[in-house]
Amino acid sequence: MNNIHPTAIVAPKAELGSGNTIGACCVIEADVVLGDNNQLHTGAVLKNGCRIGNDNIFYEYSVMAGLPQDVSFDKQASTQVEIGHNNEFREYTTVNRASLKENRVTKLGSHNYLMAHAHIGHDCVLADNIVMVISAGIAGHVHVGKGAFISGGVMVHQFVKIGQYAMIGGNAKITQDVLPFFITDGVPAFVKGINVVGLKRAGYKKSDISDLKQAYRVLFSSGNSLEQIMAGLIGIKSSTIKELSEFLGQSKRGFHRAERD
């Protein structure tokens, strides 16, 4: 039912579905549940706590469910990594198990693409259709919305939230929440404009982009307080702007603003 290379090490207690291809020198530990039709290339490692769906690809030397890089972590805690379907993890990508409490999870959705050396810290939650480019890294407890694009070399501070269809430019330093639908770039990071290309690819309409242009003026008018911003956004009758307002209302770290601020 599964194609397992003779040099691979698969623990007898690991639970494997069917149609999986396990390459040379791969390691699957005992507390692993692997679905169907996954591919593990040479040296890929699934450590204790992996719960993996179907049709994922783990390229050379990627490591899933490594211990959280948290000095307070109890190494006896039973935490997990949950991975959905149709994700790709390129060479040397790492995803850490959750920390702090029993039965907590680091969670990834489906159709995500992590390029080489990308890192996901403990207790992170990623939605679907996210791209992380080479050497991008997110610290613990980061939440990333659907369709976000995190460019190469980006470093994201712990507890940050990245909104859906946000784009972060290469090597940016992210210390606050990243607004959905906009491009954030730089060191320190600032909002540069609307993620027009990403939104069009995702099926957003011209009217949505027009609404976001209006929201941009409200967000970054000189001297506007958060209360004034929220009041101004309410006046824009759009489901896209409603999502933006909800993101702002839930932000605890504050958000990256435009450069002129």
Same domain, 116 and 215: no
Q: How confident is the model at residue 119 (pLDDT cuts 50, 70, 90)?
A: very high
Q: Are residues 236 and 131 both part of a single domain?
A: no
pLDDT digits (tens, 9 = 90+) for 203-245: 999 999 999 999 999 999 877 788 999 999 999 999 999 999 9
The pLDDT value given to residue 216: 95
What is this structure's pTM? Answer: 0.96
* Owning domain of residue 222: 201-250
For 125, the 3-state DSSP assignment is strand
pLDDT at 103: 66
Paired residues of 130 in beta bridges? none
* 222 & 148 share domain: no
Residue 128: the pLDDT is: 98
Q: How far apart are CA 107 and CA 128, in angstroms?
A: 11
- Among 54-68, 100-114, 152-166, which is the least confidently predicted range? 100-114
* Spatial distance between the Cα atoms of 125 and 81, rounded to a whole number of angstroms: 10
Q: How many domains does the chain have?
A: 2
Are 174 and 217 members of one domain?
Answer: no
Q: Do 84 and 170 lie in a common domain?
A: yes
Average pLDDT over all residues of the chain: 95
Residue 260 has pLDDT above 70, yes or no: no
Residue 30 has pLDDT above 90, yes or no: yes
Pair 206, 189 in one domain:
no
Query: What is the average pLDDT across 167-182?
Result: 98
- Residues 96-119: what's their mean pLDDT? 92
What are phi and psi for residue 192, nearest 5 degrees?
A: -105, -20
- pLDDT at site 261: 45
- Residue 3: closest CA among 17, 13, 15: 17
Model pLDDT, residue 151: 98
Domain identity same for 216 and 181? no
Question: CATH no. for residue 10?
Answer: 2.160.10.10
